[in-house]
Copies of this chain bind each other. A is one copy, B any other.
């Protein structure tokens, strides 16, 4: 079938998905808000969250404007396409908008979920549906805006000849590489959202826990704790808005990178326009069909009135499995209908992607759930104090990097070989092999609308519990919100597997896209190049543009013994650590201010005994300022270092940087996420488990709380930010490829 006809599925799906998100939003708004006290609490959280987001977008806008101006200047000097600044801005805009809408929904929803849980007969089922569909607003908005931005730009660029010259496959290459640059806008927005949100939420959380729980033995969400509103706000800005921006970036990035690789593969092999178009359309259409399946999946998540927790879990899983299995089947159909030659092989890559995502999720579950040995081992180490909790948690986290890396390696090899067509590695099939790696990531993320709903559902239930506690709704309501919350934690492991797995595969695909951008930049630059490593061979740009990937790499000597490549790898690996160190310390500093403020307020006996209302706004303000101040340096590093490396060490240095950053960042991200998750659940195991040393408020429990507190910034600030860092660095390099071609110091 004509790919251009099939393409219309994409904008249609995007509008359908957005309409559905709007419906869920307005349905939720109609639900009962509960008592005045419940409205009051919800109001505080909403205000805090909106105040934060307003501040955040103000800072981020300045960055975006500056960078867009720089891109404009680069475009003026022919180092970049003139559409890039605009594309860059739309990527950031839609990403921010998705986070904003998702968070707005979450802050409206949580009080209403608490109210729904007050229904003694059917509270769980009602609460589940309301929370889940409110979560789905985020999921569907992210996917809807992503598809809208992609299909919109494709239509514009394909039809406006003054924007993109040329025709046939080479026009496709140009279009897809320009579109990639809107991915950079999304990445940058995502990094700010993740880092800022991550610092906010963990400063509040650590501050609330250290004083409230440890020093005063308050329960979670005790209204006397001044940091408790900030803590609830944090769930929204970090786990909803931050995660939304993060996955918007992954989603758009994987589709865009794959499309660009498809066009490049067709150009390299000299295929017809039709064949190139098939490859470009495939990831978009798979995404669109996955989005529609996500809507169906969301509707499937419902249970009988009076359902218990196991039935709730079954309901969630039914939706996820349904859409997962169906997209696996339908993507074969899509590839076949598109008429792609090696459709079966490419389908194999997609299936491999799904399997790798599930496998990494299972490993994550093994290392972070208290039903298995590693978390129990950490819990046992709590009997000898906090130091051994930390040592064993770090040990477990480091060991846990082994299998995810092996799965990524096997998955990458498998996805490459399937799509490459001949089950061998060679210079000729490399483009298609890399396309296979990209489309594996697309497969992983195709039902993001649904899996993201599962993720956003977590903080909404968490906040509903907070609202119930602060409004003193009684233990039965609280136990229902807790049941909803626990459900969210179980599904989160799989979600994390897909997020981190797709990040690695997308980053690999982006590396290949960088080469395509370099070739285009070389053509535009239009001069000759001297490659010093090959006896002063002079290449002209037309020759460069015709090279296949292996030839290009050899010509620019991006081989492993080139010191620039090796040193780039060093810098890349270091950068991940530096970035994590900065964000860890940012949380530490912000948490310290929070601890001091909470201690100051609670030293007032009236506040401590609940006669005087705690000053929540001050704590919200501390987190907001802390996050805004601290997010700038790490984010700046992510943008500046790739550019600086390019200016000093040229193309080989940048490649080294990206590869080192990717490998080092991936491993570090897995370590931090799993250590953090394992500490969290080791504490929960000690609180609720059946070992002889279990129980609350013992020194053993206190030791486990130390682990949990250390784990907070590991798993919710530094770890997830790394996922974005590794892609943002590639995106920055892609957008500034023109500079790398034009100049380098060494």
Contact = CB atoms under 8 A, between A and B. Distances in A.
Contact of A554 (B386, B437, B554, B582): B554
Interface stretch (A91-99, A170-178, A321-329, A387-395): A387-395
A533 B431 CA distance: 12
Interface stretch (A4-12, A137-145, A566-574): A566-574
Max chain B Cβ within 10 angstroms of own Cβ: one of A398, A425, A584: A398
B559 A550 contact: yes
A412 interface: yes
A667 B511 contact: no
A402 B434 CA distance: 32
Contact of A557 (B388, B408, B550): B550
Contact of A588 (B381, B408, B515): B381
B549 A561 contact: yes
A560 interface: yes
Interface stretch (A218-226, A445-453, A652-660, A687-695): A652-660
Nearest to A570: B663
A561 B550 contact: yes
A532 B398 contact: no
Contact of A426 (B427, B532, B662): B532
Instruction: Count copies of this chain in the complex.
Output: 2
Interface in A394-415: 394-402, 405-406, 408-409, 412-413
B578 A401 contact: yes
A395 B588 contact: yes
Contact of A433 (B427, B563, B574, B580): B563
How many of chain A's residues touch chain B, expressed as a range?
Answer: 35 or more
Interface string A542-580: 000000011001100111111111110111111001101
Report whether over half of chain A's contact residues are helix, strand or loop; otherwise say mixed: helix
Interface string A86-119: 0000000000000000000000000000000000
Given A549-B561, A557-B550, A571-B409, A706 B387 contact: yes
Contact of A535 (B381, B427, B578): B427
A428 interface: yes
A580 B578 CA distance: 19
Max chain B Cβ within 10 angstroms of own Cβ: one of A559, A562, A569, A664: A559
A214 B577 CA distance: 32
Contacts of A578: 398-399, 401-402
Contacts of A396: 581, 585
Given A416-B563, A563-B433, A581 B427 contact: no
A388 B592 contact: yes
A310 to B, nearest CB: 34
A736 to B, nearest CB: 18
B659 A560 contact: yes
A409 B573 contact: no
Contact of A399 (B565, B581, B667, B706): B581
A413 B663 CA distance: 23
A686 interface: no
Nearest to A705: B387
A437 B563 CA distance: 10
A426 B533 contact: yes
Interface in A375-391: 377, 380-381, 384-388, 390-391
Given A427-B532, A553-B561, A663 B388 contact: no
Contacts of A210: 384-385, 387-388
A713 interface: yes
B706 A386 contact: yes
Interface string A56-94: 000000000000000000000000000000000000000
Given A550-B561, A664-B573, A385 B706 contact: yes
A595 B387 CA distance: 12
Nearest to A580: B398
Nearest to A537: B427
Nearest to A552: B561
Given A388-B210, A426-B532, A558-B560, A667 B585 contact: no
Contacts of A381: 588, 592
A427 B534 contact: yes
30 contacts: A381-B588, A385-B706, A387-B706, A391-B584, A391-B588, A391-B710, A394-B584, A396-B585, A399-B578, A402-B578, A408-B570, A409-B570, A412-B567, A427-B557, A428-B535, A433-B563, A434-B561, A434-B563, A534-B550, A550-B561, A554-B557, A554-B559, A558-B560, A558-B561, A560-B560, A566-B659, A572-B663, A573-B573, A577-B667, A660-B660
Rank and list the top 3 A-B pairs by shortest CB-CB distance, nearest first.
A398-B581, A553-B559, A395-B585
Interface of A: 206, 210, 214, 377, 380-381, 384-388, 390-392, 394-402, 405-406, 408-409, 412-413, 416, 424-428, 430, 433-434, 437, 508, 511-512, 515, 532-536, 549-550, 553-554, 557-567, 569-574, 577-578, 580-582, 584-585, 587-588, 591-592, 595, 655-656, 659-660, 662-664, 666-668, 671, 705-706, 709-710, 713, 746
Given A210-B387, A384-B592, A408-B567, 19 more contacts: A387-B705, A387-B706, A388-B588, A397-B581, A398-B578, A399-B578, A399-B582, A426-B533, A428-B535, A437-B563, A508-B566, A515-B561, A553-B561, A554-B557, A559-B559, A560-B560, A560-B659, A566-B662, A570-B667
